[in-house]
Every structure is written in structure tokens, then in C-alpha cells.
Amino acid sequence: MEERTIHMELCSSRKQKPESSQLEFGKVFTDHMFIMDYSDELGWHDPRIVPYQPLSIDPSAMVFHYGQSVFEGLKAYITPEGDAQLFRPEKNFHRLNRSNQRLCIPPIDEEFGIKAIQQLIALEKDWIPTAEGTSLYIRPFIISTEPYLGVAPSRHYKFIVILSPVGAYYKEGINPIKIAVENQYVRTVVGGTGEAKTGGNYASSLKAQEDVAKKGFAQVLWLDGVERKYIEEVGSMNVFFKINGEVVTPALNGSILEGVTRNSVNQLLKHWNIPVEERAISMEEVYEAYKNGTLEEAFGAGTAAVISPIGQLAWNDEDLVINNGETGDLSKRLYDTLTGIQYGRRDDPFGWVVKVDDSNIHLKASV
């Protein structure tokens, strides 16, 4: 790839930063964002960091009509030494390109994408909150911007990265959630877009989520779209079950999103010599295990919550209470280890952490 410089336009005044204790998810954004454009003629071009601001986009832009878009989600953390670091960002950029391929969006240079994020984070380092459990959420996304109502892949795109300081997911320590098994709606099917991180998957999941929320559940457990038999994901997390000392997670079958957290959990389990299997697992199998007392733990895994223990699972008018509705030992161990590595409090035996190169931080001084 040719050498590309990121043009910088800095804002004249900085916003007030929220108190760590007031932080929620995705409501406050930092002073700057990264943008890069694509056209068929120029490819990806004009990478720049500019003040955070609304976009001016033609109402006929394709993304508004046919939803051709993809996104990613990762975080920047502050270590006890005050350094900023990322967790496996190369995985997110690799996945972004796989999502791009599925949505007919031109690929972006993964190494350059990580460099761009590093430069943006270095500039916005003061926005990374330092209180326990807080972090800076990074949202890279691509939208199709060609002004055209025909159904076809767009010939113009924008790749944008915005940053949002987020609060601790668990205010009072890691806490089990109540889940309802979804028998009516499905998230996606094999052959659909479930493997891609694209907005449409979320749009189609809202109805199920809204329905169960009214009954007091945090999320739904998604079953496969053909037989409503095999377990796929929980809410927007991958899901794991510990049955009789062994961990099972649904295999990547073409409709499941491959989480970075899922991959990290699998690697940790192998490292600890805890048997883990990626295979099809039916709700019936989980129910059988529950009935015969071998269902030990269940949990979701994703960037936002890291590990989310499932305390209760409602299925066909039965309530399966897992591990007395408490956080299991394995869930806790995984949570502590993953967050320990992410925040630089523990050794990183797998080389997952990427330090943000502060050679860009001097840019702040030039405002």
C-alpha cells in the first residue's frame, strides 16, 4: 500500500468530559473523529481526523434505503501505568473486511485502519476514563453514500471512527441476567448476513428484544432459523454452556457472528486445560443437562460486558435457574482474566494487547 498521511483538523475548543460515575453506553462522544472516503475512481482516499460533527449526506444516499453498512466495536483501556492500549484490534479489522465482503463493500487496508485508530486514540487519550471498569468504546463503521435509489452496491462510501467514553458495564460487580429463549423470531439464517456485523441484523432483532423486555428479561436466546432447535447466540453476544465439567459453544455455522471475546474465551479454556467444544448444541440438550443436574454455568461473551453470566433461562413456561442464579466460578475466572489483560493488570501470555503508539500524542500540543 502507498504511504498515506492522515490529515488533521483539530477543534478550537474541547468539550467538557463527563464524570466517570455518570458514564453510560454510547451517549457522549469525544472531540474528534476519523473519516476516509471511497469512490470507484479513487479507491479509499483522503483519510483525515476532524472535529466530531454531523455529516452532510444526500437523502438519496443508499445507506438510508437499503442498509448497506457494516460496523465494528472495540475498546481502548488505560493501564495502571497510564498507557492506552487496545485488545486484539487486528481481529476487528479482519472481521470488518469479512463483513465488507458479505455486504459488497470494498475492503479497507487493515494495517492502515489500526494505525488510524491509534492516531485518533493518541489524540483523544484524555477521554479514556480511568475509573474501575470504564473504557473508551471505539466504533468504526462504513456507510454507502452514493445518491442513487437503484438496488446495487454503492460506488461511494465513508469509513468513520467515533469514540465514546463508557461506564462500567456492571456497576456492582459482575451480575447474572435473565434470558428468554426466543421461539418465534430469528436473528438470521445460514446464508443470510448473521456472520457479518451489519446494522440490518440489529434492526431485525429489536422486536424480539422489545417483547421480552416487557416481561422482565434482559435479552433473548436466539435459536436457529430453520428448526428453532439449536442455540445460536444470546442477545448480541456469543454463548457458552458448562455441562459436566466441559464447555460447549455453538460452532460457527454460517449464521453466528464470530466474536473476538468468543475466540479469546476458547483460547483461555484450552490454556487452562478445560475441555471446550465448538459444536451444535440444542435447547433440548441444555434442558436435559439442567434436569439431570449437570448444567453448571451459562454465560454470554462480547466486548461490551466481556462475560455475562446467565442466571435464569425461560423456555416453554419453565424457568431454568442456573447455578442458583449466581455467577459461576468459571464465568468469574474468565471475566477477571480477560479484564485483567485488557486493563494491563495481568500478564498477556497470548500477545493480545496492542499499546497505542504515543508518538502521535505531541499533536495535542500543536493545537
Q: Do residues 66 and 103 touch, judged by C-beta distance below 8 A?
A: no
Total chain residues near ligand PLP (CB under 6 A):
13
Residue 232 makes contact with ligand PLP by CB under 6 A: no
Cell readout for 168 is 462500567
| Per CB under 6 A, 153 contacts ligand PLP | no
The DSSP output letter for 90 is H
Cβ(254)–Cβ(190) under 8 Å? yes
Output the smallest distance, CB 159 to ligand PLP, in A. 18
Under the criterion CB under 6 A, does residue 238 sit at the interface with ligand PLP?
A: yes
**Amino acid occupying residue 49:** I
Give the shortest CB-301-to-ligand PLP separation in angstroms: 6
Classified as helix, coil or strand, 219 is strand
Are the CB atoms for 194 and 254 separated by under 8 Å? yes
Q: Which is nearer to ligand PLP, 30 or 236 (CB)?
A: 236
The answer to whether residue 145 forms part of the interface with ligand PLP (CB under 6 A) is: no
From the list 137-145, 207-215, 260-268, 343-351, the region that binds ligand PLP by CB under 6 A is: 260-268
Residue 338 makes contact with ligand PLP by CB under 6 A: no
CA distance 61 to 149: 8
114, 34 in Cβ contact below 8 A?
Answer: no
Pick the binder of ligand PLP from 261, 323, 327, 331 (CB under 6 A). 261
Residue in 150, 156, 140 with CA at minimum distance from that of residue 106:
156
Closest to ligand PLP by CB, 265 vs 356, is 265
Nearer to ligand PLP, 34 or 137 (CB): 137
Q: Extract the C-alpha cell encoding 351.
A: 500477545
| Least CB distance to ligand PLP at residue 150 (A) | 29
Tell me which residues touch ligand PLP (CB under 6 A): 73, 197, 233, 236-238, 257, 259-262, 302-303
